[in-house]
Amino acid sequence: MTAIGAERYRELLSRRAARGSRANYGGIAPTYQLGSGKPDPASFPKHELVVAMADVMEIEGDDALTYGALYGWDGLRDLVVHKYNVLEGLKLERDNVLLTNGSNDAIGLIIQAFVDEGDPIICEAPTFMATIGAFRRQGADLLGIELDDEGLRTDLVAERLAALREAGRRCKLIYTIPTFQNPAGPTMSERRRRHLVKLAREYEVMILEDDAYAELRYDGQPQPSMYSLDDAGFVVRTGTVSKILGAGFRLGWVIAPPMLLGYLSAFNFGGGISPLASRICAYYLKDHLEPHIRELIDIYRAKRDSMLEALQQGLGDTDAAWSRPEGGFFIWVKLPSGTDPQRVSELADAASVGYVSGTMCMPNGGGEDHIRLAFSYDQPEQLREGTRLLCEAIKQAGVGVSSGTTF
């Protein structure tokens, strides 16, 4: 029997699938995993989760092992409401919460619900590479807007929205990661958050507020979410337990006006979001939420500082620049002047050091002179050594001048 060739498959694929498959990150992982934003395995409360699962089986095992509710298990929806009330003072109702298979699924549901082929969509440049792929498969016309140390340049967003209106085109969605932006790191100021919400009302455009890292703040002062600033129903917010408990739970959520949940959930196939995982998560977090987050903050702050110190030691005598995020998992590095990005990749691969090229984070091209580093997975000693090896590779690929700085 002759296997079907790739071109024959392409004849059968939908237009969206044919726009490209997602990269396969399987195979042998690098020794120093500075590319992937995976949470620290040592932070997983494995023993406590065993207890939580035993309690779930004893108390409601039959319900946990059958199909779930359309919008997700009410116990976890209530816990999400409780989390935002405790950590932010945000008043929600259960009817504002739709559970999803992680925050990527939440983002995907929103994109499917609001974006048609050819729609102009505003996003940050750079931004989360998985969301770029989701927009492209949906056929969106991505319009990247630059960042500075206050986050998204909302003045440029206003100009772009006005130009689109003048051209007879309508932007239906603005995608932003306002807190510890992935990959660049800045947190959007309250002034700009209010401006963006004002623009959403003026132009009747939805804001997708991707908020995967908000709990993990190491420095600085929290900013109000755009969802909390919106009184007209133009902001939908996504969140996840991946960063505060374990990515393997595959549990996230959308926070939205109740009337939107039906439209979003229509893109799920039914059966509910894992009733078992939802219960284990809720049983654990109902008693451990705040102390566990405090523990995670201490763990990840130390890791961030280890990588920043190693970058200063390794590139401080060049004109490289890097972010100092107040939270989250990522550091955005501008390579020294004259660096050959391809040579960096070859040398880093030879040293078994992983990272993400800045080109993968740009919606409209560019980014060759940047890389994204993650400090979340490796332990501090591994971070220091991996960063040292990467800095050596960068220097061997071409050295800049002046002195290191941060932005």
How far apart CA 340 and CA 51 sit, in angstroms, is: 52
Per-residue pLDDT averaged across 56-73, rounded?
A: 96
- Three-state DSSP class for residue 332: strand
Among all chains, which residue has been given the structure tokens 């989390």? 83
Amino acid at 96: N
pLDDT digits (tens, 9 = 90+) for 4-15: 666 777 778 888
pLDDT digits (tens, 9 = 90+) for 289-343: 999 999 999 999 999 999 999 999 999 999 999 999 999 999 999 999 999 999 9
The two domains 28-45+292-406 and 46-288 share their CATH topology (first three levels equal)? no
pLDDT digits (tens, 9 = 90+) for 176-199: 999 999 999 999 999 999 999 999
Q: What pairs with residue 353 in β-bridges? A: 32
**CA angle in degrees (0–180, nearest 5) for 125-248-349:** 55
- Please give the structure tokens belonging to residue 352: 């078994």
Q: Determine contact, residues 223/189, Cβ cutoff 8 Å.
A: yes
Widest distance between CA atoms in the chain: 65
pLDDT digits (tens, 9 = 90+) for 92-151: 999 999 999 999 999 999 999 999 999 999 999 999 999 999 999 999 999 999 999 999
How far apart CA 21 and CA 168 sit, in angstroms, is: 33
Q: Is residue 16 predicted with pLDDT exceeding 90?
A: no
Please state which CATH number belongs to domain 28-45+292-406. 3.90.1150.10
pLDDT digits (tens, 9 = 90+) for 87-104: 999 999 999 999 999 999
Global confidence as pTM: 0.94
How far apart CA 202 and CA 165 sit, in angstroms, is: 11
How far apart CA 327 and CA 213 sit, in angstroms, is: 7
Q: Which CATH number fits domain 46-288: 3.40.640.10, 3.30.1320.10, 3.40.1180.10, 1.10.240.10?
A: 3.40.640.10
- The residue extents of the domains of the chain are 28-45+292-406, 46-288
- pLDDT the model gives residue 404: 43
Among all chains, which residue has been given the structure tokens 């990005």? 341
How far apart CA 305 and CA 399 sit, in angstroms, is: 24
3-state helix, strand, coil in the chain (%, to 5): 45, 15, 40
Report residue 249's pLDDT band, with 50, 70 and 90 as the boundaries.
Answer: very high
Q: Is residue 388 predicted with pLDDT exceeding 80?
A: yes
Per-residue pLDDT averaged across 372-392, rounded?
A: 97
